[in-house]
Structure 1
Amino acid sequence: MNGGFYLKTRNVFYLFLLLNIMNYLDRQITSAVLPLLKESFHASDQALGVLGSAFMITYALIALPFGMWSDRWQAHKVAAIGAVIWSAATMLSALAWSIESLYVFRALIGIGEAAFVATGSTILSKLYVQSRRARILALFNLGMPIGSSIGVLAGGALGVHFGWQFAFCIVGLPGLILAFFTWRLRLDRNPDHQKHAPNMDTSSAQININDVKQLFGNKPFILLSVGYAMISYGFGALSFFGPTLLNREMGYSVDAAGLVLGAIIAVSGFIGVPIGGYIADYWLKRNGRARIHVVIISMTISCALLYLGLQLVSIPLIAASIFFLFWHVGVISSLLYDVTEYRIWNTATALLLFIMHIIGDVPSPTVTGYLSEQTNLLFSLKMLVIPMLLAVVFFSWMTKYVSSKVSLTDQNITHSS
């Protein structure tokens, strides 16, 4: 008899939402204590930026092997293994004795989170029909603003009052508990799942390197990946240096900066993420390119507000920019599944993550930190508008390959060359 237990579809969703919250909480804890790390290790902005890059390098490189593995094996167990790795590495970060040792621990966190991110959204996508997918993934991706805001808020408060070491140690524990339940979960032959996604195939796909080659020949997939990378470049550096911006340029203390930015992320994301998903799903009934249009419109508005906010050093304008920036979360995941084959969704997700991170938020913290050292932090953050506008160009280009006609299937793509 196989061990484990069944959960109703909505409870599987809640479990993975909690995991996603911890995923972003553990990721964001570092940015909250950057001023404390700078003081403790006497580090430059560029050296601090490498912390973000160290995390993202392993995150990008490991995602594809984990994605391919989870297409062959039980994806939820791959996610559980990832949660154990990232949670343990977060706790071990408390033992860092130098900025270089912290690079190593952050790199290990990237390995763990890559395993979860390569599988989590795909598992949920297979549990829900296409017409509900953007909304479900938008709600799942509320883990980003919720986890990030808690990480920034709790990290700043715990770091100031108990030390940055305690902050790392305490936030890693919940992920280990959630990993246990995820490992024990059973997704095969569950009648409740069939009600939500009657065509769900629970068998393991047999994939090979040719599937990866096929994805590189998929033009809308490549445009989606590069466009997403440009969003990630901007958002990665902005979220990483956000608390430092409030602390250094606006006069907030470390814990107050965490409180303010945490509140901005929480409110903007909690409202913006589902709005983007709901608008995309509603509009999709009338236009097959609706999801692409939602990303184009929201990113254009976000870029304008971000530049003005940094130019005027205005928190309300920066907050408004972050609100529109969050609209893409969930929508882009749905777009990925619209333009790729069902049987290799995990691999496609992992390859998207690799491309998105390796040219997006892998270099952006380090480059932004370097520009900050050469000029100032405000100028380096203003430069993030450039890649974000490039994202608008790539998504606009993508409309050439996606039909405007409404499709009742999971494939809206037209194979025009």
Structure 2
Amino acid sequence: MGLHTVGTAVPGTSPAGPVVSRRYAWLVFALSFALLLSDYMSRQVLNAVFPLLKAEWLLSDAQLGSLSGIVALMVGVLTFPLSLLADRWGRVRSLVIAAMVWSLATLGCAVSASYDQMFLGRFMVGVGEAAYGSVGIAVVLSVFPVALRATLSGAFIAGGAFGSVLGVSIGGVVAQHLGWRWAFGIMGIFGIALAAIYRIMVTEKRLGSAVGGRGGTPGEHAGLRTLLPRLFSSVSVVCAYIGSGLQMFVAMALLAWMPSFLNRSYDMPPAKAGLIAGVFALITGIGMIGGGIVSDRLSRKAGARKWTVAIVCSLGSLVLLTAGFQLPAGPPQLVLIAAGTLLSNATAGPAAAMVANLTPTAIAATAMATLTLANSLLGLAPGPAVTGMLADRMGLHGALQVVPLVALAGSVAFTIGKSSYEKDLRRLGLLPDAALMNPEPQT
């Protein structure tokens, strides 16, 4: 009664429910989610201290954007090779090492004496964070039923938004009272403590064969070269990568620059701007969870509806954000921006679920790494940096008026993916989502 039951395995997908204690599965989720909070707290605390760094070191907006973008760039460059290594070497061990690296690097940022030293510290933060999101979500999905994929994916990825809330909000308050160095220091110490707890509570042995890497079945690694091409073997999975990355561009640009936007357009001090920006990040996370839940519920009998949810959210964010940034400063503007923010990354859960459905379980972390790579190279890295470069030329408000147009390209990618989805499932020998969501139990 306390175990997830195993259903029929669909070719190229995870089993319906690995035999893992339900209580332990939720413990794994909770600890993995906590580490993701630390990941994004360490990443986004920088945004809360933008005004302080700009004043102390006389930095341009482009330089500030580069300090944010370098982390996402390293995630994009390294996520694939490090995730592939984790699939072979052991996912849990890789997660612990990654957390220690980004936490120690964040402590290094706390003692930086110049822009160059801070850039190096942020570089190493990116190295540590490179594979965490993809490997972490692969571990989480491996211990839960397939029917919860979009919901769990959305909830897990939302940890990035919630971590951003905590990073920006706590960072802003700490920076105002104790200085920006303490803001980085507290985030680093928190990450080290969580990594130690994760190391004790979650192990490859306790997870058993549910988690890949050293716990995988013998035949999985032998066929790795055969499986890797499946990462790009269909139009629909490529569209999921692209659409997700383009929506991430919009969401991350908003997360990175909202504190500065509130500071400049509403004359808010850094602490208050950080707290209000944290609310917007929280709204982003709520949208991710909501998008996953709605996607799973609507697609129980028609899997293609996941794409419909993504398309609606993408177009909705385009309309609401464009309208919001056209308005003058005031409550109506903030309400529209908040509504657009809610939808800006609600596509994360459906996109991750589609990637998981269309790629083999033996390379689950690598598949999520490919999604993370697209999110980083198309969204996380260029979002803050491009917005900063535009802000140097046309002002931050003008730059934020342009950014939502990227969602139009995202909606096009999701539309193409939907049109090819069922054909790709048949060509790859996969069963429709209805079978995935309601597998027959083994006899």
TM-score between both structures, scaled by the size of structure 1:
0.90
* Unpaired stretches in structure 1, ≥5 consecutive residues: 1-5, 413-417
Aligned counterpart, 1:279: 294
Q: Distance in 1 between matches of 2:108 and 2:252?
A: 23
1:9-408 to 2 correspondences below 5 Å: 9-184=25-200, 185-188=202-205, 202-203=216-217, 205-206=220-221, 208=224, 211-266=227-282, 268-269=283-284, 271-312=286-327, 313=329, 314-403=333-422, 406-408=433-435
The alpha carbon displacement at 1:217 in A equals: 3.6
Cα distance change, pair 178–303 in 1 and its aligned pair in 2 (3 A): same
Q: Which amino acid aligns with 1:302?
A: S
- Cα deviation 1:31-73 (Å, max 9, x = unaligned): 1111111111100111111112211121111101111011112
Are the counterparts in 2 of residues 55 and 103 from structure 1 also a CA contact under 8 Å?
Answer: no
Q: Distance in 2 between matches of 1:224 and 1:50?
A: 27
Are the counterparts in 1 of residues 314 and 407 from structure 2 also a CA contact under 8 Å?
Answer: yes
The alpha carbon displacement at 1:165 in A equals: 0.7
Cα distance change, pair 40–347 in 1 and its aligned pair in 2 (3 A): same
Are the counterparts in 2 of residues 79 and 119 from structure 1 also a CA contact under 8 Å?
Answer: yes
Are the counterparts in 2 of residues 144 and 269 from structure 1 also a CA contact under 8 Å?
Answer: no
Q: Note the aligned Cα RMSD (angstroms).
A: 2.3
Are the counterparts in 1 of residues 256 and 384 from structure 2 also a CA contact under 8 Å?
Answer: yes
- Cα deviation 1:280-329 (Å, max 9, x = unaligned): 11111121112211111111111111111111141111111111224223
Q: Which amino acid aligns with 1:348?
A: A
Q: Distance in 1 between matches of 2:266 and 2:35?
A: 33
Q: Distance in 2 between matches of 1:59 and 1:381?
A: 24
- Cα deviation 1:114-166 (Å, max 9, x = unaligned): 12112000111111111122222233233123211111111111111111111
* Unpaired stretches in structure 2, ≥5 consecutive residues: 1-20, 424-431
The alpha carbon displacement at 1:77 in A equals: 1.0
The alpha carbon displacement at 1:203 in A equals: 3.4
Are the counterparts in 1 of residues 137 and 153 from structure 2 also a CA contact under 8 Å?
Answer: yes
Are the counterparts in 1 of residues 230 and 360 from structure 2 also a CA contact under 8 Å?
Answer: no
Q: Distance in 2 between matches of 1:342 and 1:113?
A: 22
Q: Distance in 1 between matches of 2:242 and 2:133?
A: 18
Aligned counterpart, 1:3: none
Are the counterparts in 2 of residues 56 and 362 from structure 1 also a CA contact under 8 Å?
Answer: yes
Q: Is residue 2:424 matched to residue 1:409?
A: no
The alpha carbon displacement at 1:279 in A equals: 0.8
The alpha carbon displacement at 1:187 in A equals: 3.9
Cα distance change, pair 187–384 in 1 and its aligned pair in 2 (3 A): same
Q: Distance in 2 between matches of 1:374 and 1:234?
A: 19
Identity over aligned residues, as a percent? 27
Q: Distance in 2 between matches of 1:146 and 1:53?
A: 19
Are the counterparts in 2 of residues 83 and 112 from structure 1 also a CA contact under 8 Å?
Answer: yes
Q: Distance in 2 between matches of 1:256 and 1:409?
A: 46
Cα distance change, pair 190–108 in 1 and its aligned pair in 2 (3 A): closer
Q: Which amino acid aligns with 2:179?
A: G
Q: Which amino acid aligns with 2:138?
A: T
Q: Which amino acid aligns with 2:303?
A: G
Q: For 2:163, what is the secondary structure of its paired residue?
A: helix
Are the counterparts in 2 of residues 66 and 118 from structure 1 also a CA contact under 8 Å?
Answer: no
TM-score between both structures, scaled by the size of structure 2:
0.85
Are the counterparts in 2 of residues 87 and 173 from structure 1 also a CA contact under 8 Å?
Answer: yes
Q: For 1:225, what is the secondary structure of its paired residue?
A: helix
Q: For 1:285, what is the secondary structure of its paired residue?
A: coil
The alpha carbon displacement at 1:229 in A equals: 1.7
Q: Distance in 1 between matches of 2:318 and 2:29?
A: 32
The alpha carbon displacement at 1:189 in A equals: 5.8
The alpha carbon displacement at 1:269 in A equals: 3.8
Q: Distance in 2 between matches of 1:325 and 1:367?
A: 17
